[in-house]
Structure 1
Amino acid sequence: MTRPARAIVFAYHDVGVRCLRAVLDAGLEVPLVVTHRDARDEAIWFGSVAEVAAEHGLRCVTPADPHVPELLEAARAFSPDFLFSFYYRHMLQSAWLTLPRRGAFNLHGSLLPAYRGRAPVNWAVIHGERETGATLHRMNEKPDNGAIVDQQAVPILGDDTAHEVFAKVVVAAELVLVRSLPKLLDGTAVETPQDLSLGGYFGGRRPEDGRIPPTASAAQIHNLVRALAPPYPCAFVDLGGQPVFIERTRHPAVHAPLPTPGPLRLEAEGSALWLVAADGHRLQVMAARDAEGQPFDAARLIHHFGPHGASVDAPHSHL
């Protein structure tokens, strides 16, 4: 009797949870799951791959370095047909990529070749994209570089946060994988080489990268706020030497004629808090907080800075 196809799965986050479930649902044997320990300094708002592995009685390990010889030797003994990487955060070297008999495949959260690299959903929102998606591709030693097996697009609405877009990408990832697994298993999957000139590579983002640039337009600021809205660290400005984190903004329903451009500033109008961009357009600040997590609203702005608001402290930065 022919044994089921065997796959080693590297996975983390919600994409890892849903895609590991899809692999198991397709009948593949999974002798080893590799995931990450949750970082103590990171807000964990997503599902646990380790818990899914435990539910199914799968061997699950969390090495700091997946390339230790002992783990590679153990994996080699399983004689895997496939290796899958679903939002696993470490780059896998050739020792892993050449180990499975039928290839190693990664699920990436963009429409490759666009937004290769880190934080693809956040970068897509920062740049005001109107769609993104999920791509299954063959892995090689360059990040997000191999031939595409399949991809699925999802829309990005004008007020969508990165968190909301990521939820759509999770569904797209599951759709792509469920659609692709039968073809990978029976050898009929068609792989299309990427034209890398049609996209770029982006690096990871740090909390300090959320500083709102003083020269940004209102549209650029709105995109940055959406891209970094909770549960991410949030876009921010410094006001009187203290950070104010901007969690949500919206464009006014009626756009007034462009006023004279000026410095980035916060203003109060009745009970409404407004962020005035360098291009003179305004965004209503729907939610903001200080460094202690307390709400920052129009009343607090007036209390500390008077009825005319204040220009923000804005050291040089860039989107």
Structure 2
Amino acid sequence: MRAVVFAYHNVGVRCLKVLLARGVDVALVVTHQDNPSETIWFESVAALCREKGIRFVTPDDPKSAELFKQVQAVQPDFIFSFYYRHMLPVELLALAKHGAYNMHGSLLPKYRGRVPVNWAVLHGETETGATLHEMAAKPDAGAIVAQASVPILPDDTAYEVFGKVTVAAEQALWNALPAMLAGQTPKLPNDLSKGSYFGGRKPEDGRIDWSQPAQAVYNLHRAVAPPYPGAWTTLGDRTFIIVKARLADQAKPDLQQGLAVVDNCIFGVCGDGRALLIHELMADGKTVSPQELQQFLSSRS
């Protein structure tokens, strides 16, 4: 069986390796050029292709006539999309004789759309996973082929959960491929009425609202902690980013909402009187010590 693979990120690397391990002839890989303004903390699909001698291209537009001709020339049995960042046109998907399939980082139909791991952590979910599904005109709307679930522990960051989801994606694809290659692809219903759709997130979405309960603020921190841009707050003209934190054991109802220093420890006091114990805080690209923050707060008051 011959495949054209659209892939990027860790999930792209791992799932491409699964296809090769299962004996799929990967004739062409379509990936992205790394954005120099983006923090690249993940593995490179292009590097894997160079290592394995697989032909790859990095078009700016997956809807281009040139790419259509390249995929058409391959005459693929399958088209796979593994964390490729663009929707693929239905005309392109139709070139796959045995179907086109996408790997999504949630348990569909929940968390359709962009950055599903970050949204799941933000909303305090205790479970997520990966879903291999048939591609359709709508995003993440096609029939489900396979799923694998993973837990989200109370202190897991999105980065840690993403590592688990990468393994779940590998497992889902590995388990589904024998039936797919035998022409017996499972197709389970993907009931969109029971799910949810979310858009992308921007760095400014990490602004902390200290009037919220501590659990909500903590979930925001976990959802956008480094290598993502981080949860942040401003005091005057300075922006402070939380790098590492935990929910504090003791409530701080007598303190004003926002950043505070108590007993040489940094806290973020929230609307319900509970607080985050902040283990690492940054401003202007440097770590801020409790003493430095106390001096800054004192100078403001």
Amino acid paired to 2:107: L
Work out whether 1:127 is the aligned partner of 2:151: no
Amino acid paired to 1:273: I
Amino acid paired to 1:267: A
Counterparts of 1:239 and 1:48 in 2: how far apart (Å)? 38
Work out whether 1:281 is the aligned partner of 2:277: no
Counterparts of 2:48 and 2:29 in 1: how far apart (Å)? 10
Q: After superposing the two structures, state which structure 1 stretch, 229-238 or 180-189, moved more.
A: 180-189
Could you tell me whether the CA contact under 8 Å between 2:12 and 2:83 is conserved in 1? yes
Q: CA deviation at 1:214?
A: 3.7
Residue matched to 1:70: 66
Residue matched to 2:287: 295
Counterparts of 1:207 and 1:74 in 2: how far apart (Å)? 36
Q: Deviations over 1:121-149 (max 9, x none)?
A: 00000000001100000000100000100
Residue matched to 1:37: 33
TM-score w.r.t. structure 2 length?
A: 0.96
Residue matched to 1:114: 110
Matched residue SS, 2:287 = coil
Counterparts of 1:71 and 1:189 in 2: how far apart (Å)? 27
Q: CA deviation at 1:246?
A: 0.8
Amino acid paired to 1:39: N
Q: CA deviation at 1:103?
A: 0.4
Residue matched to 2:298: 306
Counterparts of 1:188 and 1:148 in 2: how far apart (Å)? 13
Residue matched to 1:170: 166
Q: Deviations over 1:152-199 (max 9, x none)?
A: 000011111100000000000000000011111112232112111221
Q: CA deviation at 1:240?
A: 1.9
Residue matched to 2:98: 102
Matched residue SS, 2:259 = strand
Could you tell me whether the CA contact under 8 Å between 2:210 and 2:258 is conserved in 1? no
Counterparts of 1:250 and 1:59 in 2: how far apart (Å)? 46
Amino acid paired to 1:279: D
RMSD: 1.5
Match for 2:253 among 243, 255, 259?
A: 259
Could you tell me whether the CA contact under 8 Å between 1:264 and 1:275 is conserved in 2? yes
5+ long unaligned stretches in structure 1: 311-319
Could you tell me whether the CA contact under 8 Å between 1:270 and 1:298 is conserved in 2? no
Q: CA deviation at 1:17?
A: 0.2
Q: CA deviation at 1:66?
A: 1.6
Amino acid paired to 2:244: R
TM-score w.r.t. structure 1 length?
A: 0.91
Amino acid paired to 1:220: A
Counterparts of 2:212 and 2:178 in 1: how far apart (Å)? 47
Q: Deviations over 1:237-287 (max 9, x none)?
A: 00122110011221223x44x837x86321111220011001111111111
Residue matched to 1:269: 262
Amino acid paired to 2:243: E
Residue matched to 1:157: 153
Question: How many residues of Structure 1 are paired with residues of Structure 2 in the alignment?
Answer: 301
Matched residue SS, 2:50 = helix
Counterparts of 1:287 and 1:53 in 2: how far apart (Å)? 38
Matched residue SS, 1:124 = helix
Work out whether 1:197 is the aligned partner of 2:193: yes
Q: After superposing the two structures, state which structure 1 stretch, 134-143 or 71-80, moved more.
A: 71-80
Counterparts of 2:226 and 2:114 in 1: how far apart (Å)? 18
Work out whether 1:239 is the aligned partner of 2:231: no
Provide the identity percentage. Answer: 51
Counterparts of 1:57 and 1:87 in 2: how far apart (Å)? 21
Counterparts of 2:70 and 2:285 in 1: how far apart (Å)? 47
Residue matched to 1:213: 209
Could you tell me whether the CA contact under 8 Å between 1:251 and 1:283 is conserved in 2? yes
5+ long unaligned stretches in structure 2: none
